Amino acid sequence: MRFSELRKIKQEAPRPEPVNPARSAPAPVREKEKAVEPSLPEKQTPPPEPPAPAPVRPEIQESAKQSTGSTPKSRREARALSRPTEAPFREQDLKAREVYSRILDLSGSFLKAIDQPYTEKYEAIMAACGLVIETLRTNGVLLNYTVYSTAEDYLRGHTANTTIMSLAMGLEAGFGDSELRLLGFCAMAHDIGMTEYASLYNRPDRLGKNEFAEMSLHAEAGVAKLGRIVDLDYKIKDRASHIVLQTHERADGSGYPDRLSDEELDPLAQIISIADAYEAMTHPRAWRNAVNAPDAIKELVEKEGRGFNAKAVKALISAVSIYPPGSLVQLSSKEIARVIRVSRGFLSKPLVEILLDPAFNQINPQLLDLFEHPLTSIDRTVNFSELERRNPKCAARLEMSRWWVEW
Ligand SMILES: [Fe+2]
């Protein structure tokens, strides 16, 4: 579905009620916060308005109480006790939105500044990467925001998302702080060579062989542009240049520009490379729709990572799980839900928001933490085309909610 089509749908469809928003931010799981009236927070610019929280199923409270007993009675309970305590979802979501908005702003200003003869963005990017790293350590909800696309220029959202995903993967892979910051900087810079090819990447049809070859030159163009960043530390410039140049290579030698193989590639380049590909697959482009996130993960795993390094594939799965944020799933209760927070270390036990009953009829959104609710599990993923067929209004609302714009 294209952004232009969504505008039409929006004009035709009734505006969603605040109590039942397209992209609901669910209520925290804590008992005391259940009493808080659902309300929209103060409007921020540029982020879209965060929607109202969803209520929490009562059985979650019971389950949570059981799992906090003094002596673990089972392996599952023992693992639950060792899981770090998460802040309430609502609190995490507001903080994550603020951080995402900052990264998006920086991504946009960097992509503009890099087309000037000189720019001073290195320190700002390093500081922003530090903020993302610290946020990801305690607030996995930031990863949810990488489902957004930017309508006016996809490159802005793509760059921000690839940076956050790369850092989430770097954390899972156990990189140290300075390596993580370099990873973030290179992810932010990996497509700076693309700004010269806007007429090609914004075209509504697929590129031909010659056009693709022309656009592939953006890898070298990006390295040349690194020289314009006057505050880039000269000690790391050489390595940063290698990493940026290698982010379009593949471990099986099928990438560009130099068709390097696995052992020749910098590990940071391999992380950015798969984050870049996964982000691109799961977001719409002018010439194609987005791939469902679980299908993208499946494809990366089953096709041996599409030429990616096995450790990088593992880091991706550890970071976004097999049901990444935004995935639509059918629960064992047959209800339809959307994944809204990955549980670190527990790939099939995310926090979900139940949106539809088993017949795909809309219900008031409800939160369910599958980690704390052992009687419910994920039966299967729901293809977006199935949702479009069985509840087109819900499908349209979910699609609209993926665009980071002010309506
Ligand atoms: Fe990219």
SS (H, E, C) 259-322: CCCHHHCCHHHHHHHHHHHHHHHCCCECCECCCCHHHHHHHHHHCHHHHCCHHHHHHHHHHHCC
Residue 33's pLDDT is what? 35
Question: What's the whole-number mean pLDDT along residues 11-39?
Answer: 37
Q: Which of 78-87, 142-151, 180-189, 344-353 has the lowest average pLDDT?
A: 78-87
The domains located in the chain, with CATH, are: 3-31+43-400 (1.10.3210.10)
The CA 165 to ligand 1 mean position distance, Å, reads: 12
When mean pLDDT is compared across 41-45, 118-122, 221-225, the lowest value belongs to 41-45
* Longest pairwise C-alpha distance within the chain: 66
35 alpha carbon to ligand 1 midpoint, in Å? 44
Residues, CB within 5 angstroms of ligand 1 (ion):
191, 276
Please give the distance, rounded to the nearest whole angstrom, from the Cα atom of residue 188 to the centre of ligand 1: 9
Residue 282 pLDDT exceeds 70: yes
- Residues 105-112 have a mean pLDDT of 96
pLDDT in tens, 181-218: 999 999 999 999 998 877 777 777 777 888 777 778 88
Q: Are 142 and 132 in contact (CB under 8 A)?
A: yes
Q: pLDDT-derived band of residue 51, with 50, 70 and 90 as boundaries?
A: low
Q: What integer pLDDT is reported at residue 56 of this predicted model?
A: 62
Please count the CA atoms within 13 angstroms of the CA of 307 that sit on its side-chain side: 16
The predicted pLDDT at position 182 comes to 96
What is the model's pLDDT at position 77? 52
CA of 301 to the centre of ligand 1 (A): 20
- Between the CA of 291 and the centroid of ligand 1 the distance, in Å, is 16
The model's confidence at residue 306, banded by pLDDT at 50, 70 and 90, is: low
